[in-house]
Amino acid sequence: MASALEHLAKLLNDTLDAQQHRKGKLGSSAAHAKQPRHGLNPRTDESVAAAENALKEESKKPNYSLSLLTIVSTAAQPLKTRLAAALAFKNFIRLNYVDEEGNYKLPLEEVQTIKKELVGLMISSPPTIQTQLGEAISIIADSDFWERWDTLTKDLVDRLSNTDYKVTNGVLEVAHSIFVRWRPLFQSNELNREVLHVVGTFGEPFIQMLSIADQQIEANKDNADALKGWLDTMSLLARILYDLSCQDIPPVIETHLQPITVLLHKYMSYTNPIFDGEEDEATPLETLKSDICDALQLFTNKYDDDFGQYVQEFTNNVWNVLSSVGPEKRYDILTCKALQFLTAVASVRRHAEIFNKEQILGTIVEKVILPNVALRESDIEMFEDEPIEFIRRDLEGSDTDSRRRAATDFLRKLLENFEVLVTQVVFGYINHYLAAGKTDWKAKDTAVYLFLAVAAKGAVTAAHGVKTVNSYVNVVDFFEQNIAADLLSENTEPIAKVDAIKYLYTFRSQLNKAQWASAIQPLIQNLASSNYVVYTYAAIAVERVLFLTDEQGQNLYPRSDIQPYAKDLLEHLFALVEKDTSAAKLQENEFLMRCIMRVLIVMKEGVLECGAEGVLNHLINITNVIKENPSNPRFYYYHFEAIGALVRFCSSSPKLDMLPRLWVPFAAILSEDVSEFIPFVFQIFSLLLELNSSSQVPGDFKMLIEVVLAPGPWETRGNVPPLSRFIAAIIPKAAEEIKAEKKLEPFLAIFQRLLAGKKTDQNAFDILEAIIGAFPGDVLDPYFGTILTLIFTKLQTSPTDSYKSRVARLYHFVSARAGEAKMGADYFITHAEAIQQNVFTPFYLTVILPTTGQFARPVDRKLGVISYTKTLCESKQFAERYQKGWGFTCNSLLDLLKNPPRVAAGVGDEIVNEADVDDIGFGVGFTPLNTCKRGARDDFPEIVAVDKWVGQYLKEANQRHGGAVASFVEQRLSPEAKAALAPYLA
């Protein structure tokens, strides 16, 4: 056993190339930078890869997770080895603890041992290891807490210490990591039961711990280490107060609310000379006050009936804090949290009245707003030294808390309540700073920022900027009188230039086409600035202007307007992106790539007239560089959207020779297993195949069949949708090869696997429909009964509406393929009845007929019409065995024909919007490329006017069958149905 552990420890050490901690192996987020896959030392790369492969084999052995925990707990092991074991354990648990259905993938005994040992081990470990094990506990809690781990809360309570803050803080870290999951959730009975379980066990000890921490802080006021430790305890308790109260205020909190508020008030006012230094980072005291402000904000917003009596006191308390903190970075988070609490106070009308006086508002602007919107030296330093970080923090909608953002939100909330008075007060300061700004650009920056804050009303969206403005200001006049000159001048301070660009960016929806006509050219010219922030903000503004649409949904700046300078614009943007050829620097600036993407989307096939070949060369070059070190998910998302746009609109051009050109870099991505890019590659491959008019598989693509049939790629959840789509695209073109090489069964095995999953059954149907569309019925005969058995079995287990919809669509697809494809309704019935006699009748009556009536997409309704029509005309079973069913089918057909489905032909003219990147969980799941989005598939494009086709088909079938169809109409339909069908038979 010892030798096995030593071997495992050695492997962990061998994988510890500091930058080789990749997600799913030893690493953290895929968003973190990686070492290039082909570094300067191939021998090291090979040894690390060998160790990782060996570790992967070790992970398949019994009790692997427990072996890792043993290494973590062994003090004799080097700390880096223990940390590597903790990382490996966390990632192993993430991938191997439960399946999609929540069932354990590990033996129950191993699960129980993990849960028994993990909390104690986490608490006793060094901080770096605590972090990893704490995340592992959260992963386990996501699936098991509380009903499958109902001892956890009591275990945590039992481990709380009244004297050892290290132990107590470890316990509270675990508790908070579990309870914090409740914050974003909607209320449900299941969630309420979980919270009640926790409060019943943890509530009273929590109250007691507040008092103990308070006593310990007092007792250790002169002991720096202990004081910091117990302040950390109080911070964790403040976070847990928020956790426990985020859904509803628990009785134990409600009962003790008064002493809790006394304690919170005490620590909002608490000072200690130990923390009077010049630290750059927040001390435990600022962190505690920030956490208290979070809790105060929650109680003000959510529990005004209980907490309202304390709001005035805490408002004064927080005001004093804001008045006492300086501009130093250590106070940034506290200042933001304090302002967010005041914003919450201003959101409750009866509390907001305390601000409704000109003198008070003037004091707020002077003492709170101005100090927090004015540029600081640290802002200027960031502008110069970390420009990309400056931009990300500065943009509206950024997730990063900033003083400016928090002060602006507070001011806008006051404006919402007291628009006239606030506008009047603030404009006094705006005019003062504009006057000073004639000689001091920093003063003008403050004036512009104040104007931006009071001019905007409501949400400032990433898509459209300010949609509603303060009726007491004129944004166009203010721009022309105070800002336009800065946009045009070549001698403006860079930050002032950025202010001018940001002004246009913010109010882009307020300018009409004529006003933009005079502004767009100066914006584009600023892309030539030598200043990083200026040219980046210019790219941001240009991209958002190109995104704007009019009331009819058409681009405000269509292709014809952008065509004259599109080539130069693209070349300049690519030059900025490729200015630094290192992988990390090249993909640093996602805003430039986003602008490239937008130009390509707006230009569509017009790119062919302005250097499409050069664009493709640039995109391929960038792909080759960034695949060595994918480090910025936003950049490479926009990058692949740009490639998708070029493919979508220009792939038909023989001059570009796009398919073989893209094959080389994409094949390298697959062979080098650049996991971040694989889902994007298969989406673009799928689009290339779908747009390729040939009925044959392009030569290089044939080797991908083996790739997609291998189990490895399917183990990554984000690969499933693009791989499924690729299979659906390649099967129709490779049907002969698949049949000749006997590869149909492996494809059906993939269908079976995907059908079993809750989140992948839609992908399963995509593959199955491709198979049914590519092969005639006689080829599928040996398999179709098994396929139906799988589908029917899942129908018995509370199927979702989307599942029933896909089953109904599948039936109609088979039914509509009567004739040369050797399928049809009778084909389906024969195989269904072979499984179980008389199973088709309830299936048809309870699934097919009602679900078809709910079809919303025109392509599905069209398929239903074709299927029903062919059933009425071609099915022997419906003609003889299911005579009532014939009438039901005809009635359902007539219902669909009341609003004949019209399927739009073609694709490519509609506006393409990229996904909202901030809503995308990079590295977590599948990220769709909207430029590669597949339109709804029309299986019968040759049928255009469906209602006319129905009449023609019915009449031809009636003649072909010697008047049988007309006879059935007379015998099996009601008078109303006969009358409705008569025009089609006339």
Strand runs (DSSP E) across 699-790, as ranges?
A: none
Q: How far apart are CA 504 and CA 420, in angstroms?
A: 25
Does residue 117 sit within a domain?
yes
Q: How far apart are CA 986 and CA 981, in angstroms?
A: 9
Give the three-class secondary structure for 320.
helix
At 922 the pLDDT is: 47
Does residue 647 sit within a domain?
no
Bridge partners, residue 457, by sequence = 468
Q: How far apart are CA 61 and CA 110, in angstroms?
A: 12
pLDDT band, residue 21 (cuts 50/70/90): very low
- Residues 16, 22, 24: CA angle, nearest 5 degrees: 115
Q: How far apart are CA 880 and CA 866, in angstroms?
A: 20
Q: Which of 346, 355, 365 is nearest to 428 (CA)?
A: 365
Q: Check residues 908 and 234 and name the one with the higher pLDDT.
A: 234
Least confident of 189-203, 455-469, 763-777, 857-871: 455-469
Q: Reply yes or no on whether the pLDDT at 460 is more than 90.
A: no
The whole-number average pLDDT for the span 561-578 is: 95
Tell me which residue has tokens 């929590």: 206
What angle in degrees, to the nearest 10, is found between the helix axes of 284-302 and 257-268?
Answer: 140
**Chain mean pLDDT for the chain:** 92
Does residue 12 sit within a domain?
yes
Does residue 90 sit within a domain?
yes
Tell me which residue has tokens 């033996």: 107
Taking only the tens place, the pLDDT of each residue in 961-971 is 999 999 999 99
pTM of the model: 0.88
At 758 the pLDDT is: 87
At 278 the pLDDT is: 76
Q: Reply yes or no on whether the pLDDT at 916 is more than 70.
A: no
Taking only the tens place, the pLDDT of each residue in 277-303 is 877 899 999 999 999 999 999 999 999
Q: Check residues 24 and 615 and name the one with the higher pLDDT.
A: 615
Taking only the tens place, the pLDDT of each residue in 117-143 is 999 999 999 999 999 999 999 999 999
pLDDT > 90: percent of the chain: 85
Q: Which of 926, 245, 249 is nearest to 640 (CA)?
A: 926
Residues 6+ apart with CB under 8 A from 848: 808, 811, 812
Residues 6+ apart with CB under 8 A from 969: 890, 978, 981, 985
Answer for the pair 678, 723: CB distance below 8 angstroms, yes or no. Answer: no
At 397 the pLDDT is: 57
Answer for the pair 129, 68: CB distance below 8 angstroms, yes or no. Answer: no
Helices and strands: H and E segment counts in the chain = 50, 2
Answer for the pair 157, 205: CB distance below 8 angstroms, yes or no. Answer: yes
Least confident of 323-327, 353-357, 399-403, 793-797: 399-403
Q: Reply yes or no on whether the pLDDT at 43 is more than 50.
A: no
Taking only the tens place, the pLDDT of each residue in 51-106 is 888 998 999 999 999 999 999 999 999 999 999 999 999 999 999 999 878 899 99
User: What single letter denotes the amino acid at residue 695?
Assistant: S
User: What single letter denotes the amino acid at residue 607?
Assistant: V
Taking only the tens place, the pLDDT of each residue in 711-767 is 999 988 899 999 999 999 999 999 999 999 999 999 999 999 999 998 999 999 999
The 8 Å CB, 24+ separation contacts for 218-222 are 221/272, 222/274
Task: Categorise residue 397: left if φ over 0, alpha if ψ from -120 to 50, beta otherwise.
Answer: left
At 903 the pLDDT is: 79
At 720 the pLDDT is: 96
Answer for the pair 370, 446: CB distance below 8 angstroms, yes or no. Answer: yes
Does residue 97 sit within a domain?
yes
Does residue 88 sit within a domain?
yes
User: What single letter denotes the amino acid at residue 822?
Assistant: K
- Residues 683, 685, 689: CA angle, nearest 5 degrees: 115
**Phi–psi pair at 775, nearest 5 degrees:** -125, 140
Residues 6+ apart with CB under 8 A from 790: 752, 755
At 30 the pLDDT is: 31
What angle in degrees, to the nearest 10, is found between the helix axes of 152-159 and 108-124?
Answer: 20
At 919 the pLDDT is: 45
Q: Give me the domain span that covers residue 74.
A: 1-32+40-126
At 38 the pLDDT is: 40
Residue 797 burial (10 A CB sphere; 0-12, 13-18, 19+): exposed
Q: Reply yes or no on whether the pLDDT at 459 is more than 90.
A: no
- Name the domain count of the chain: 1
At 16 the pLDDT is: 75
Q: How far apart are CA 639 and CA 647, in angstroms?
A: 13
- 201 sits in which H/E element: helix 189-219
At 912 the pLDDT is: 58
Strand runs (DSSP E) across 97-201, as ranges?
A: none
DSSP 725-744: HHHHHHHHHHHHHHHHTT-H
Taking only the tens place, the pLDDT of each residue in 225-260 is 999 999 999 999 999 999 999 999 999 999 999 999
Q: How far apart are CA 774 and CA 291, in angstroms?
A: 61
Task: Categorise residue 560: left if φ over 0, alpha if ψ from -120 to 50, beta otherwise.
Answer: alpha
pLDDT band, residue 31 (cuts 50/70/90): very low
Tokens linked to 560 = 């014809």
At 164 the pLDDT is: 97
Taking only the tens place, the pLDDT of each residue in 412-422 is 999 999 999 99
Q: Reply yes or no on whether the pLDDT at 25 is more than 50.
A: no
Does residue 87 sit within a domain?
yes
pLDDT > 70: percent of the chain: 94
Does residue 116 sit within a domain?
yes
At 914 the pLDDT is: 55
At 99 the pLDDT is: 87
Residues 6+ apart with CB under 8 A from 417: 346, 349, 352, 355, 356
pLDDT band, residue 915 (cuts 50/70/90): low
Q: How far apart are CA 628 and CA 973, in angstroms?
A: 68
Tokens linked to 674 = 């650049």
